[in-house]
Structure 1
Amino acid sequence: MDIKKTGNIMKKTMKRLLYLLVLNAVFLTACKDEEATKKVLDNNLSEISKLLLEKSGIVSEVYTDTTIVVANGIEETEIHFLKKDGLTTRVFILKVDLKVPGIKVKVATPYDSPGYTGQTVPDMAKYIENANTKVLGGVNGDFYDIANFLPRGPLHKNGVVIKGNFTPSVSLPQQALSFIGIKKDGKPIIGYANEYDAVKSDLKEATGGGALLTRNGEKVDNSRFAVALDPRIAIGYTEDDIMYFIVVDGRNFYNSNGATYSDLSGIFYALGTHSSINLDGGGSATMMIRNPEADILQVRNRPSDGRPRAVAHAWMIVSEN
């Protein structure tokens, strides 16, 4: 036996074993560091992000989230996350507590008039502000006929019925299906189009809408609609009078890819809503808040049109003296 050769083999074997032990130690340390980093990230996430991770069924990982306290009872959270289908998404969630005195949710129309025309959400806000009313946030409202700005569904504003019926579109069956309103007692309500007449006289503010997303706390199956990933606007409410206004950006692969009805249902289910509804979206989807630092109206999302588009009407969150 060649003792010298055997010794060299043993030395090489020991070096390899030592290398593997060091490599394993580095790997275990990296895993622990990654786990610790994830715990830190999770601890720094907003409660809304945690709910989406745990209950929405669509969120794989949250990259970042930022919450702005707009006013007492009103918070806006921007969340950048990875969906389970591998697509990056940005969602803007405006949480409004209707139990806070002075906070109201109202319909706005272009130039604060009942006529059918178009105006951007930020410009509509300027026309309804006065010494007693301050706009704190807003999104665009129901679908409408782009040829004449006629809303697809009903339109109530400050107790006045501007339009009291539905105008369906044969080519767009996902429109004119439902309504969302604020009743005279200040409570929100969402229902199907065939339920509108029964509550019409009790609605102070109202617009029509598209597909219901959640109802009685459960997700609604909208698989009958052939809808793609798109920028979306949706509103929902909980049984304890919390309203959520949601805008999902889309049509930009690297920034945000939009959402389906199923995605929105998952988000509203995670937020614990009683009912929620899809509204107008697409290139005009706009989320606006009053920036508390600068005290100016600020568009928070990135409309895929490049800037806010003139729309038929909007939903506004206001404070009233």
Structure 2
Amino acid sequence: MARFHPPASFRLKTLVAAALFGLASLGAQAQTAVAASQIPNPTTEITQSGYSPVYLGVDTETATVPSNPATAGGAPTISRAYVMRIDLFAPGISLETTQHSGPLNTTAETISQFAARTGVRAAINGNFFAPCCNPQPEPKTVIGLLVSNGNVVSPLTNDPTQSEAVLAVTRQNRAFIAEAPDISQPELRLIQTAVAGSAILLKNGQDVSAQSPNEGDPLNPNPRTVVGLSEGGRFLYMVVIDGRLPGYSTGTTNEQSAQLMKAIGATDAINLDGGGSTEMVRADQIGKPFIVDTPSGGAERFDAVGFGVHALPLPRLPF
């Protein structure tokens, strides 16, 4: 059988095409390698999923935080965080906290019960409280400032070891973070909503967590509930960090919480009650909340304070 011998010009074009294909493959491999090198390592870097809108003025994302090993010298671990970013200037946004009830300050309920009762779109737990932690709707003493709908449910504390860090929001949704001794009585009368926690973690973009009092076990990894504000106070951040869940989420120290809050966009932040109280719920259908995180006790705790946000649904896009 006669063999076909392509002309030299055809052979040259074939060699050139093969060379170009090889260069393209090498280029694609190089791009893949560069992309892979840019993927954050969750055991050494904070990772973020990126914000997605869930309600009008409310965005959500997840994040991971490098955490302390469960045992000294153990393998690196991570903590999983759930973030709500609320635009306080958006239409329909308002905040709600637990109102006064019972012979003490409040009556305990789960965060799901709080959200269902108040009709908020999202909620987290708030202040530290006592006694802890019976699974029933018992009277609770709230620690630190709690303001609900302009009414002071629990007063400012003057004890530097007990919940002097305050997140306050006025009737005009102007928010600020301050220590209790710095809030004057005239300022207090302007506050519509407030919760208090153990420590300021960020102040004007600086990590001040090293100044945390011992309330809330600041130096060891724990589940955490943290709130923060962007520069200028437009955005409120509600954050829960799961912990005490081996192989899934370790929990953070106050310093690690501060670094997370800075990464997500906050310049000021405080630590609220954590541990088994840490919880976030969402209600895509008002009155029917679902749990977003994984409470460390395996079930919802009956907390003294819920802190939630009302929001309008996202507008429907025309087809």
Give TM class, smaller chain: 0.7 to 0.9
Equivalent of residue 65 in structure 1, options 26, 41, 49: 49
Equivalent of residue 144 in structure 1, options 91, 108, 129: 129
Task: Give the deviation of 1:207 after TM superposition.
Answer: 2.0
Task: Give the deviation of 1:109 after TM superposition.
Answer: 4.2
Distance (whole Å) between structure 2 residues aligned to residue 286 and residue 112 of structure 1: 23
Residue number in structure 1 paired with 2:147: 156
Distance (whole Å) between structure 1 residues aligned to residue 102 and residue 54 of structure 2: 24
CA RMSD, Structure 1 to Structure 2 (Å): 3.4
Asked if structure 1 preserves the Cα contact closer than 8 Å seen for 2:226 and 2:240, the reply is yes
Residue segments in structure 2 that go unaligned for 5+ positions in a row: 1-25, 70-75, 133-138, 314-319
Task: Give the deviation of 1:270 after TM superposition.
Answer: 2.4
Moved beyond 3 Å, runs of 4+: 27-34, 36-39, 64-68, 80-85, 109-115, 223-226
Distance (whole Å) between structure 2 residues aligned to residue 185 and residue 120 of structure 1: 29
Residue number in structure 1 paired with 2:115: 125
Q: Deviations for 1:252-289, whole angstroms, at most 9, x for unmatched residues?
A: 12110101110111122223423210001101210111
Task: Compute the TM-score of the two structures, normalised by the length of structure 2.
Answer: 0.74
Are positions 1:286 and 2:279 aligned together? yes
Task: Give the deviation of 1:30 after TM superposition.
Answer: 7.2
Distance (whole Å) between structure 1 residues aligned to residue 103 and residue 27 of structure 2: 66
The aligned amino acid for 1:144 is F
Are positions 1:104 and 2:104 aligned together? no
The aligned amino acid for 1:287 is M
Task: Give the deviation of 1:79 after TM superposition.
Answer: 2.3
Residues 119/221 of structure 1: CA separation in 2 closer, same or farther (3 Å cut): closer
Asked if structure 2 preserves the Cα contact closer than 8 Å seen for 1:102 and 1:319, the reply is yes
SS at match of 1:150: strand
Q: Deviations for 1:11-70, whole angstroms, at most 9, x for unmatched residues?
A: xxxxxxxxxxxxxxxx9997764433455x67xxxxxxxxx99xxxx95264x8375532
Distance (whole Å) between structure 2 residues aligned to residue 96 and residue 140 of structure 1: 16
Task: Give the deviation of 1:210 after TM superposition.
Answer: 1.1
- Using the aligned pairs only, state the percent identity: 21
Equivalent of residue 316 in structure 1, options 297, 308, 311: 308
Task: Give the deviation of 1:165 after TM superposition.
Answer: 3.1
Higher helix proportion? 1
Are positions 1:215 and 2:200 aligned together? no
Distance (whole Å) between structure 1 residues aligned to residue 279 and residue 295 of structure 2: 6
Task: Give the deviation of 1:240 after TM superposition.
Answer: 4.7
Equivalent of residue 294 in structure 2, options 302, 311, 314: 302
Asked if structure 1 preserves the Cα contact closer than 8 Å seen for 2:145 and 2:157, the reply is yes
Task: Compute the TM-score of the two structures, normalised by the length of structure 1.
Answer: 0.73
Equivalent of residue 190 in structure 1, options 177, 181, 185: 177
SS at match of 2:140: coil
Equivalenced residue count is 271
Distance (whole Å) between structure 1 residues aligned to residue 234 and residue 28 of structure 2: 47
Equivalent of residue 254 in structure 2, options 261, 264, 276: 261
Equivalent of residue 204 in structure 1, options 189, 192, 215: 192
Are positions 1:277 and 2:261 aligned together? no
Task: Give the deviation of 1:295 after TM superposition.
Answer: 8.6
